[in-house]
Amino acid sequence: MSIVLACDLGGTSFRAALVDDTGCIQAQHAIAGPASQDDRSGSSEIEAEAWWALLIEACSGLAAGAPALFEAVEAVAICGVTRTQIFLDRNGRSVRPAMTWKDTRSNALAARLRETLDPAHPESAGINAFHPLARLAWLREQEPEFFDRLACLLEPKDYLNFRLTGRRASDPVSMARLLAVAASHDGRDLLAAAGIPASILPEMLEPWEEVGPIQSDLPAPLDRLIGKPVFCASNDTWAAVVGLGAMREGYAYNISGTTEVLGVIGREPARAEGLLTVDWRGLFQLGGPSQTGADSVTWLLALLGRDGAEIGPEIDALLGRPRQSQPLLFLPYLQGERVPYWDPSLRGALVGLNRQHGPTDLAFAVLEGVACLNRIVLERAETALGRAATEIRFGGGAAANPVWSQVKADLCGRPVVVAASKEPGLLGAAIVAFTGLGRFVSLAEAQEALVIVARRFEPDPALKPAYDALFALFRRAEDVLAPISRDLVAAAEEKRPLADLARHASAAAILHAD
């Protein structure tokens, strides 16, 4: 039996597992991720060293719980959250905290970049607060003392690979947006036009290529893996799609964790408004990440005074009760939105509340609101590709809930297929490692051998008219409420009169205390 160490650095947790060559997880250790430091300015930051500490802690847990298996590890592969920038100096030290996928401080600067940079460049329209070019331009403008020290930009999984091997490298999937602005168009590239040196780009490797062997002088228990190969891997979405067996033409995928990612896989590149087209090394994905998902459920449970640490049982209890005949609409934009709107000023809403609505109605509204957003992305991708997806491979924590799987199937009108592995990101990373070791000739062969389907949810034809009507109302509500959301956000940010309302809450708290 061959064993690899697979890791998945997620938005809210770090998971490490010892996986055998049948795709079975023999041992696993999960840790809550470092909490980002967020504030009202749009800042969201994490110290890079915190992720390194998590890797050591997770490996320590595995080595203690399964020492023989840990000693048998033949290779390491780490996938990880993307749209998060780690800034290193020439000595490999972090010059400032990493900017996470939630950071929106560069929103105004991104708008200026779109106006001033070459509009004919294919990437110009996609520059927004979540784009690495906007983040780098913000750093150059707002923190020049740190920008001047910048020598290399890495994603979190690349940083861990660097700490393990000493080599600064990434892959073209994780760095797709940065590579896009660095690409020349009619002799001009956006990276240089924004004053960002191309020298900050790390070396590019394919996900299944080796970064290097694990170096010596690492803390325990990593010192027991000296010389083992570390494979580059890619972002957590790409790895999870491999782990779901969805890296195939005509398939759609939906990875649902704290936030969701949805896309469709095609043989040729296609473009659609608000969606990302990324070369996934022989195939192309059209879709991208949202800001909503299980986090919306966590928010709801907190709002209802329920145990947010027990999301599964709590949401199951709510969904198991009758709902009112008049449904609610939920716009799930609690943190703004990335795909397909790329607007940090969008806000959520519950539309249609009446006196009879209760927690169960709210729970269904949240699930259906997220599924409506899934459908928008799916329809845009399918239209651009000129064909419907054959099925949606569904993975992540929410895939354990059969009601949510069925809601997605009914609202999107496509079969939803759940794989047997509850950790598709870990399985995808393991598939990368086994492919890199030569156990399989390709990722396609590896996913065919190691991915097993557990359940299939077919759309209910009887519900199609009702969900089509709900979706149409959802789109109308979006159109009407988006401008109001932006005005509310602007009022708070610009200290206009509406922002003064916050003082009433403070005064009320003081009076209550007295």
Residues in the chain: 514
Q: Are residues 327 and 261 in the same domain?
A: yes
Q: Are residues 229 and 363 in the same domain?
A: no
DSSP class of residue 104 equals: -
Q: Are residues 265 and 144 in the same domain?
A: no
Beta-strand relationship, 229-231 and 349-351: unpaired
In a domain, 430, yes or no: no
- Number of folded domains that form the chain: 2
Q: What is the DSSP string of 214-275?
A: PPSSPPTTGGGGTT-EEE---BHHHHHHHHTT--STT-EEEEESSSEEEEEEESS----TT-
| pLDDT tens profile 154-195 | 999 999 999 999 999 999 999 999 999 999 988 889 999 999
Mean of pLDDT values over 312-329: 93
State both tokens at 326: 């008049």
What is the C-alpha separation between 143 and 141, in angstroms, rounded?
6
In a domain, 9, yes or no: yes
Q: Are residues 261 and 222 in the same domain?
A: no
Contact 338, 288 (CB under 8 A): yes
| Cα→Cα distances 185→116, 117, 226, 405, Å | 16, 12, 44, 43
Q: Are residues 388 and 287 in the same domain?
A: yes
Q: Are residues 175 and 32 in the same domain?
A: yes
Q: What is the DSSP string of 470-481?
A: HHHHHHHHHHHH
Q: What is the DSSP string of 414-427?
A: S-EEEES-S-HHHH
Q: Are residues 224 and 251 in the same domain?
A: no
| pLDDT tens profile 370-416 | 999 999 999 999 999 999 999 999 998 889 999 999 999 999 999 99
**What is the CATH classification number for the domain harbouring 355?**
3.30.420.40
Rg (CA), the chain: 23
In a domain, 23, yes or no: yes
| pLDDT tens profile 439-490 | 999 999 999 999 999 999 999 999 999 999 999 999 999 999 999 999 999 8
The pLDDT value given to residue 233:
98
- Of 234, 255, 274, the one marking the end of a domain is 234
Q: Beta-strand (E) ranges in 359-477? A: 392-395, 416-419, 453-457
Residue closest to 5 by CA, chosen among 437, 438, 446, 447: 437
In a domain, 132, yes or no: yes
In a domain, 443, yes or no: no
In a domain, 446, yes or no: no
In a domain, 442, yes or no: no
Instruction: State which H helix or E strand residue 288 sits in.
Output: strand 284-289
In a domain, 438, yes or no: no
The pLDDT value given to residue 507:
52
- Tell me whether residue 390 is exposed, middle or buried, using C-beta atoms within 10 angstroms of its C-beta: 0 to 12, 13 to 18, 19 or more: middle
State yes or no: cis peptide before 289, omega within 30 of 0. no
Query: 276 lies in which domain range?
Result: 246-422+451-514
Q: Are residues 100 and 151 in the same domain?
A: yes
Q: Which of 101-105, 367-371, 504-508 has the lowest mean pLDDT?
A: 504-508
| pLDDT tens profile 117-129 | 999 999 998 899 9
Say how many Å lie between the first and final Cα of the chain, rounded.
67
- Of 189, 213, 234, the one marking the end of a domain is 234
The pLDDT value given to residue 496:
65
Q: Are residues 158 and 251 in the same domain?
A: no
Helix (H, G, I), strand (E, B) or coil at 314: helix
436 band by pLDDT with thresholds 50, 70 and 90: very high
Mean of pLDDT values over 220-245: 97
The pLDDT value given to residue 187:
82
Helix (H, G, I), strand (E, B) or coil at 127: coil
Q: Are residues 206 and 112 in the same domain?
A: yes
pLDDT top residue among 174 and 502: 174
Q: Are residues 275 and 160 in the same domain?
A: no
- Of 180, 209, 234, the one marking the end of a domain is 234
Mean of pLDDT values over 66-95: 97
**pTM of the complete model:** 0.89
Q: Are residues 215 and 354 in the same domain?
A: no
